[in-house]
Amino acid sequence: MVIKRGVPVFIAVFLGFLTLLGLIVPLPEVNRIVLNWASFIAAIALLLGILNLFSVHTDRLFHERNFYSGILILSMLAVFTLAVTDSPGINFTNEGVNTIFNWVLAPLESALAALLVFILLISGFQMLRSSRDGNRRNGYAFLFLISAMLVLLANVLAVLTLVPTPVRDLVAQFHQLMQGVVVTAGMRGILLGIALGTLTLSIRLLLGMERPYNK
């Protein structure tokens, strides 16, 4: 049992230090081998995830009569069929997958992005109602709500033609200020947090302290 648990740890630590060595010392051959193995394992994991998703929703369709599972299965089969018929060896259809993306996925993404603004506003109101520090409102929730409302107002006024030009110019400057200073600062903070978290997790994996492959 100890040997079975130690083998995955040894493989993970060895490959981790090998990858780290390839990044520090120029070893193009080692980097290429590790990258090819990582790409192959990621592709196999993605394939197994797709098969598991298909199996779970097939079971739900036939046992629970889940309507949405049926739609998901039909969508998966349709996209897979178009991907096969788009292949160079068959050429039965022409850019069928791109058509599905342009006519189905892209409008859905646009609709979700449009709803995100209202979700942020509702979240701001909920935070303002629920978050309290003693008997006082939390200032961060109020700041979040005001920021979301100002950004929404700036985007709406920027596309309205009835708004006077000086007002639109002022709104455009405000929108540029928000995007260039506030949003950029927030994104940089999030990326720095992700980088520090990734570094910490990588060190724990290299030292064998974190073992997600045993779970």
Which residue ranges make up each domain of the chain?
A: 1-97, 112-215
Token readout for 192 is: 């720095």
Which one of 10-24, 99-113, 134-148, 149-163 scores highest in mean pLDDT? Answer: 99-113
Three-state helix/strand/coil letters over 68-108: HHHHHHHHHHHHHHHHHHCCCCCCCCCCHHHHHHHHHHHHH
Residue of 181 and 2 predicted with greater confidence: 181
**pTM higher than the cut 0.75:** no
Report pLDDT digits (tens) over 161-212: 666 777 777 777 877 777 777 778 888 989 999 989 888 887 887 777 776 6
Judged against a pLDDT cut of 50, whether residue 135 lies above it is answered with no
